[in-house]
Structure 1
């Protein structure tokens, strides 16, 4: 009897559903930018196809610090319009989606040796609060570190203010924009590549030949527009599309490490490193604290997606400078590593520290080839970027009316060893959230791989049997489940164990 393979059957049905379809827009890249653009266009009634070679949010969007910043970064350059725009965007997230985003307190701490003039910092905080329309908590000065017994002595003279954070995770934030419109006239395909993209100049249509990377199913679709939201791969995709853009990306590698959250850590702490204008944050996230990030310029994408021992050593040094406990590799729960795309003009040739480059987004419209490319951006501004794209699409394609979002229901919850909170069940995620692999589930549908040491396996692999049972949910038989488990164990050894062994 042939083994039951629900993942493969669902993929076959999905590729049959889209085969031969003509879409208004195909969005390439399902990170936070692509997901928000997809949601915005679907909500306007457009027929949209979302594609990603990996899982949803499997690139830069899975390696954030969970922060929804206003425009504080741009205050030092006196870029007041950008400051105001990003503050309004931050506040809109808090007001519109309180189930996803909440206000959070921050405490900026200087050491005994102040590297920034405290009076200028205080004035800047007040100005920032005013430009945010007085909506956030009034910034306080002269704040000490009382009650934070895990900090080293001498951390005082701080300033308190308020920003926003994601409630659950960056991956969930992305996924929640995709799933309500992933069925019906629109579609969202993860682990899917467009292996050939051809523009028909006479019909003004793109032909996309699609292939499921895990199961091999194929389909052909056509689309009137392509939105290239591939993040750090935007330049590469534009080369394939034949688009000559005036912009490109510089790349910055960012690494966080997580440790067990100190009991009295409630607000996000920001420490002045005194180097390159950089800061070091310690932010509570569930049972862990995210410490980081690093900022390292990279010229090769392959070099950017794996944390190196030197990244970990740098972060541990900052932890030891600011926290009482002398943390070592054995105290690290997980590592997060991503590559930030920083938008620059194509002719930009300076070699500068990534912090000197803007996090602003840029949008390029190639009207002759019907391609819109988006560059840069951040969690805060993804809605602003999506609105710019929507306006460009609306100028060429008449909207069809309001789209209808599907309610996803409430998933059954399960317990995972070592977690104080429950997680959505693996079968639910497989059947309702396009969760295709063991890693999709542990890393992006849940926070198991980030909150339990060694990708959920446990410090001594004590959770192996539990993860084996989860692997069976995504596999046609026990042999395939064992192969999936072995592959996941190998990836944990490479991305976690091997790195820490070199520290």
Structure 2
């Protein structure tokens, strides 16, 4: 078991916290990082792993919401574009511009030139930070995107937005790392059992499903950032909110690399919605669906997979049609969409709902709840939460160092210089800096004392990375490693992972004497020597 996790539990039990944040997806992670960065004593918990629910099922895009222009939500798009630009500035290694290659079919509901003018407006609303859009003829699409089936097309356009170079979960974990670096507590696999506002603070009962231990935690304030479970937590705490969530299921499939061009291929699917084919290293992520569901937990159905495959085969010119056998992995989650509590949203209305966020504030009980939201707008969520918690009487201070963002370019240059001494190549340098920030220096320290730790193991990871994860990232099970600390479970066939010669060593570093048992639990069969 992670020594760091044990320390966080002990610290959380011992001291009354300025704030307890429930939920460690992107909303909870940024709320906790913002509070910790401004001097508050914070504990953030999640009943599963960090960013293991909605925050691990996104399309990996940081975008300004171009589709909301169709519903004339100009203030929302203006704000999201500003937030996207902020992420580009603060995270140059993790959030980068990418071109979207959009095809428009003959007879589409909007003229091609009007869509281009919308993209031009979008570029201006984005403060012209990206490359400008281009109107594309069918001939140009044939030349620049030969995999696209141009037979039904009137033309297309090209515009820019951003994507996460690693993945959504790795980005969310960077905020958990900020919490820990400030001496605060982040605890995965910790469930809130009950909470009571009593004598001016919250008395919370927590349960550790790993050890079975139950204990109490006291906090002056509470932030409900439980994502799709926000309503359930509020019901437990007897909080009456003016908002509620409705759920939209989004499914993606990952297949072999469809095209080597670094574009997001964008279409309008058979049901009229935007449909993406997103580069993911040597793979392609295809999605997404948009299905209304009633429950927080969603799985991709056979119909979802068939819809994605059928549209991909129709929209592309492939040597062989994609089949279920080509699906390497699936990802599926619910989008929690915020509406007024009394709203009765019809089936024709809910698809037009945006991913805006609302924060419900209860000053009399020192509690706020975050509803809705998306990755792109996360910094604003963190800033808003700190203002609210400060209004409850928690003392804050303005740090000279920002609570978000990558370390300075000077530190990045020093890191690169040190890496060259250990013969690390450019790809390894970029990856280490993206994933670990200034903690990447700890990888170099390990390599300096033991050069063998610079050797590659499972999935191309350096041994030093695995040791750093074991010490600093609270990897409790193989799913944490393969699905969230890396994206190997998305890009590699399960059978390939099972046969990877570095699997046993990686499990030994992370789980010690429990390594074989964890491999058997994850793959359902013992490791054969």
TM-score between both structures, scaled by the size of structure 1: 0.88
**Distance in 2, Cα, partners of 1:360 & 1:424:** 40
The aligned counterpart of 1:390 is 386
Matches within 5 A, 1:338-349: 338-349=333-344
**Distance in 1, Cα, partners of 2:522 & 2:14:** 36
The aligned counterpart of 1:142 is 136
The aligned counterpart of 2:316 is 323
The aligned counterpart of 1:57 is 51
- Deviations for 1:20-40, whole angstroms, at most 9, x for unmatched residues? 211111111111111111111
Answer yes or no: is 1:402 the counterpart of 2:399.
yes
**Distance in 2, Cα, partners of 1:442 & 1:159:** 36
**Distance in 2, Cα, partners of 1:291 & 1:186:** 38
CA contact (8 A) 1:32 1:57 kept: yes
**Distance in 2, Cα, partners of 1:423 & 1:147:** 40
The aligned counterpart of 1:458 is 496
> Relative to structure 1, is the Cα distance of residues 13 and 350 closer, same or farther in structure 2, using a 3 angstrom cutoff?
closer
**Distance in 1, Cα, partners of 2:168 & 2:305:** 22
The aligned counterpart of 1:486 is 520
The aligned counterpart of 2:485 is 445
**Distance in 1, Cα, partners of 2:10 & 2:121:** 56
Q: 3-state DSSP class of the match of 1:425?
A: helix
Q: Give the CA deviation at 1:167.
A: 1.4
CA contact (8 A) 1:452 1:458 kept: yes
2:472 to 418, 422, 432: 432
The aligned counterpart of 1:352 is 347
- In structure 2, runs of 5+ residues without a counterpart are 404-436, 444-452
- Deviations for 1:140-193, whole angstroms, at most 9, x for unmatched residues? 112532232333342561111111111111111000111122155411111111
Q: Give the CA deviation at 1:424.
A: 6.7
The aligned counterpart of 1:361 is 357
TM-score between both structures, scaled by the size of structure 2: 0.84
CA contact (8 A) 1:270 1:281 kept: yes
CA contact (8 A) 2:71 2:352 kept: no
Matches within 5 A, 1:192-271: 192-200=190-198, 203-271=199-267
Q: Give the CA deviation at 1:282.
A: 0.4
> Relative to structure 1, is the Cα distance of residues 14 and 386 closer, same or farther in structure 2, using a 3 angstrom cutoff?
closer
**Distance in 2, Cα, partners of 1:413 & 1:334:** 29
Give the paired residue count: 473
Matches within 5 A, 1:284-303: 284-302=279-297
- Deviations for 1:382-425, whole angstroms, at most 9, x for unmatched residues? 111222212111222231453977942343666356x5776873
Q: 3-state DSSP class of the match of 1:482?
A: helix
The aligned counterpart of 2:160 is 162
CA contact (8 A) 1:67 1:165 kept: yes
- Deviations for 1:246-269, whole angstroms, at most 9, x for unmatched residues? 001000111100111134231111
The aligned counterpart of 1:24 is 18
**Distance in 1, Cα, partners of 2:383 & 2:134:** 35
CA contact (8 A) 1:261 1:289 kept: yes
CA contact (8 A) 2:99 2:158 kept: yes
- In structure 1, runs of 5+ residues without a counterpart are 1-6, 492-503
Q: Give the CA deviation at 1:379.
A: 0.7
**Distance in 2, Cα, partners of 1:173 & 1:12:** 24
> Relative to structure 1, is the Cα distance of residues 163 and 28 closer, same or farther in structure 2, using a 3 angstrom cutoff?
same
CA contact (8 A) 1:15 1:218 kept: no
Q: 3-state DSSP class of the match of 1:172?
A: helix
Q: Give the CA deviation at 1:111.
A: 2.9
**Distance in 2, Cα, partners of 1:382 & 1:308:** 30
Answer yes or no: is 1:79 the counterpart of 2:73.
yes
Answer yes or no: is 1:38 the counterpart of 2:76.
no
**Distance in 2, Cα, partners of 1:43 & 1:402:** 7
**Distance in 1, Cα, partners of 2:127 & 2:302:** 43
**Distance in 1, Cα, partners of 2:44 & 2:82:** 28
> Relative to structure 1, is the Cα distance of residues 87 and 10 closer, same or farther in structure 2, using a 3 angstrom cutoff?
closer
Greater alpha carbon shift after TM alignment, 346-355 vs 77-86: 346-355
**Distance in 1, Cα, partners of 2:400 & 2:235:** 32
**Distance in 2, Cα, partners of 1:414 & 1:72:** 44
Q: Give the CA deviation at 1:318.
A: 0.9
> Relative to structure 1, is the Cα distance of residues 166 and 289 closer, same or farther in structure 2, using a 3 angstrom cutoff?
same
> Relative to structure 1, is the Cα distance of residues 187 and 330 closer, same or farther in structure 2, using a 3 angstrom cutoff?
same
